[in-house]
Structure formats: C-alpha cells, structure tokens
Amino acid sequence: MPIDRRRFLAAAAALALPGGALAQGSGEVDIVVIGAGAAGIAAARRIAAANRRCVVVEASDRIGGRCATDTKIFGMPFDRGAHWLYGADVNPVAKLGPGTGLDVYAAPPGQKVRIGRRYAREGELEDFLSVMVRTNRAIIEAARGKADVSCLQALPKDLLEWRNTVEFMLGPLPYGKDLRELSAVDVSKAAERDSPAYCREGLGALLGRLAGGLAVRLSTPATRINTWVRGKVEVETTRGTIVARGAIITASTNVMAAGKIRFDPELPKRQLDAFSRLSLGSQDHVVLELAGQPLGPQADDLIFEKADSARTAAMLANVSGTPLCMIQLGGKLGRDLAAQGEAAMVDYAQEWLAKLYGSDIRKAVRRTHATRWNQDPWVMGAASAASIGGQGSRAALTEPVRDRIWFAGEAVHETQWGTVGGAWLSGERAAEAAMRKFGWITTPRPSGEPAREPTRKPRRQPAPTAAPAVQPPTRSGLHWPF
C-alpha cells in the first residue's frame, strides 16, 4: 500500500520521539497526552504501566505545568506555582514522594493573624474561626437551594469587622476569584483541603522525578487535533504530526477557551461552554528574600491579617526553612497588579509587609521575584473556579468526545479541583477510561466507582443547628492557595 506524504511525516515525527515512542511496525503510538503537568504525567504513567506506547507533548520548555520550581533566582528552590499537597495521607502525589528520594513533609499546624502591628489574641482568633464556620455553613446551605448563587450572596450579613478577611480567605486566596464570581455549589462540593504537605525541593522537581522514563517532547505545542480519520486521532504539533488511537488533553481551561488547540471537527458545544464556565482565577506569588529572620524562626509560618479593605494578602514565611517569604496575591487585586508588571507587585508586597511589621522590615529585603501566571501563554491563569451555574461543567469534561478524546486536569475533578492531587487523579481516570474503551483493560470496575479515587470523605457539611466548634487555629477545614 503506497504511503502518502501526510502519513510519512506522521511516522517520521513519531520515530523522532524520545524513548522510542513508536509502536512496533505500526507507525503510530497508542495514546498521545497533551500537557506534561500533573494530569498528563499521571495519565502517561498509567498508560506506560499497561505496556502501551504513549508520548507526551508539552508546549513549554519544562515538565510540571503549573507545578514549577525555580532554583536559579535565589540559589535555592521555590515553587512559582502550586506549593501545597492537600490530604497528604491519601494524596497520590504525596504518597509517591518518598519513592523519588525527595523530602515531602507535613506542613506545621496553625496560622497567625496580624491585627495592626501585633498578632491576634486567643479570644480574637476564636471570634475569627467562629465567623469562618458560620460563613462556610451559609455557603453550604445556599448551595442546597433550587438555583445556584454566588458565594457573595450567601454570606451572613453580620460579619462586621471580619468581613474583608473572610471574603479574602474564601475567595481570592484559595480560588483566585472574588466571591461574587464563585459558584456556591462548586465551593460547597470541594473536598476538605486539610493535612497539607510540602516538598522541600519543590513540586516541580517532584513531578520531574515522577516523569522519569516517560517519552516527553518539550517545546512542542499541539496546534490541531483531527478526528476525521476513522478510528484514529491525528495530533498536529509544531514539530510534526502524531497518529494515535486516542488523545488525552490536559491543557488549562483558559488555553482551551482561547482556541490555542483547534479541533476538526469542532468540539461539541457542551465541552466548549465548559471551558469558559470553568475559567482560571488569578493567583501569584511575590517572593522576598529576607535577611536575619525578621519574621521569626518558624519554618512555613502562615500569616494573614485582619483586613480593613479588599487590598490584602497572605504570606508563607521562611519557606521550607529558607530566608524566603512567599506573599500570595489573588483575585482582582492580584490580577490588576500582575497586569501592571513585576515591579508593581513587589512594591505592593513590601508595602503590605511594612504595614504589618513596620517600615524597618524593608531593610531586610534582598532579592525579589514575582510570578505572573496570567501572562504565561501556555497556562493563562492559576486554577479553575466555576462561575454561577457552572459546576456541572466539570462532569461535562469527563465525557469522551467521539470515543477518542478525553480531558483531564484539575478542572475536570468534581471535588478536588484546583489541586495537584485532583489533577493527578483526573489524569489516571482519563487514562483508564481510554484503555477500557480500546479493550486494553478488561477487569470490571465496580458500578459507579471512579478510577483510582482516594477514600477520603468530601468536605464536611455541619448540621444547620449545630453550634460552631471553636478550636485553636489550624489549617484543617480552610481552603488555602494553590
């Protein structure tokens, strides 16, 4: 049978893949994974474990996606993106960590609240936690209504002087969006983000270790996916075309909504709408190197303030025992500052720090850096957060398209969205769904059981009549940033 030019180029591109990712004698790989973040790596590992040929194409020049570790700027590792591994006892990435030789350790419990130039007293902390319990309960109750509403609409009216802090802690900090933009149903379905862990060498380094042995092509954006070919998928990239039985797409919802990957024929409207309804929030880190431990000696000290306006932030001090502090900007304030540039972000961070600790702390600042994820062309934001009425779009993205295309990523997980663990689980789930469809996995799955999900229960929903249980401040039960 004669080989036309298109198939010759596809075969040549596959032969060039590292790791020999060309199925023997077929001129095709089994599955193409688009994106080398947590979901893409998880999917590729699952496919490789089934002895199937898989190649990962990644638009950027590194592995990790929104898990990005830098070691050059400060001469020590810090995470430019995701930094938290929630539910470390069941988190699949945290559980794999020790096998990589890297140090995955539990985050210290608790956090500190600044009120002006001092830390909050015990009674003030109890007051704050009581307000947080009531607010979470109100959002859960609002989500039980007939129609979805914004989290802002669900807030109790009597938050008084804690209102700005509560709005920041439940919106911009964990989700990168202000409460008026967030679906109460989506937030109420989020699994508890408790028992967090960190990787001392950085989550980007951890994902790099977990990708060891996989065939990954960096700086290779996928530009077009053609499913007109019967029983096949042709993935066009900037370095040639790859032919496969199926494709797993892990690009961010903002990248997909921007049309950076074309589909021929076009995707169904259900999936297209889902991308815009699950748009990414804005979250960035301003990292300051501080000399002399001016924030105290405790490593990974989580600090925020009793805010008097929406212009507020949070901080992780002495990250992994280093002199680095990571100031978290989110929501509209973070988006506006990022649009102005790194200098504006650093100026705000230093101003915010001086407000809490005095102007002398500026003298301790050495090197600085600010991330700008909204401007990253292959991400275009932080993590997904459903708009009002958009929570069902997560389920829509779990549906295969023409039995040859599957989606994965943090946005596709219905309860662990916005987390590294959720992205990883969604990648494994998509890989298993594809392999079952092609008959490569034949063992039955119990009815209604998702692929390789943890046994952790979803976020607790306190009874409406229960009195708030005020405990010393911990990170358990609160949603912290990606």
Domain boundaries, the chain: 5-63+211-279+384-437, 69-83+105-109+281-375, 118-189
| 55 pLDDT more than 80 | yes
15-40: average pLDDT: 67
| 229 pLDDT more than 60 | yes
| 13 pLDDT more than 50 | no
Q: Full-prediction pTM beyond 0.85?
A: yes
| 16 pLDDT more than 60 | no
| 125 pLDDT more than 80 | yes
Strand-strand pairing, 233-237 and 222-226: antiparallel
Q: Which residues contact 228 (CB under 8 A, 6 or more apart)?
A: 264, 265
Q: What is the pLDDT of residue 444?
A: 66
Q: What is the pLDDT of residue 464?
A: 32
Q: Which two tokens stand for residue 452?
A: 């390789």
| 26 pLDDT more than 60 | no
40-53: average pLDDT: 98
pLDDT-based confidence at residue 14 (cuts at 50, 70, 90): very low
Q: What is the pLDDT of residue 481?
A: 54
| 471 pLDDT more than 50 | no
CATH topology of domain 5-63+211-279+384-437: FAD/NAD(P)-binding domain (3.50.50)
Read off the pLDDT of residues 347-398 as tens digits, 9 standing for 90 and up: 999 999 999 999 999 999 999 999 999 999 999 999 999 999 999 999 999 9
Read off the pLDDT of residues 278-291 as tens digits, 9 standing for 90 and up: 999 999 999 999 99
User: What angle separates helix 420-437 from helix 38-49, to the nearest 10 degrees?
Assistant: 40
Whether the Cβ atoms of residue 424 and residue 92 lie closer than 8 Å to each other: yes
Q: What is the pLDDT of residue 456?
A: 46
Q: What is the pLDDT of residue 482?
A: 53
The whole-chain average pLDDT of the chain stands at: 89
pLDDT: which is higher, 137 or 474: 137
| 39 pLDDT more than 60 | yes
Read off the pLDDT of residues 191-212 as tens digits, 9 standing for 90 and up: 988 899 999 999 999 999 999 9
437-460: average pLDDT: 61
User: What is the percent of the chain where pLDDT is above 70?
Assistant: 86
Q: What is the pLDDT of residue 28?
A: 82
19-46: average pLDDT: 77
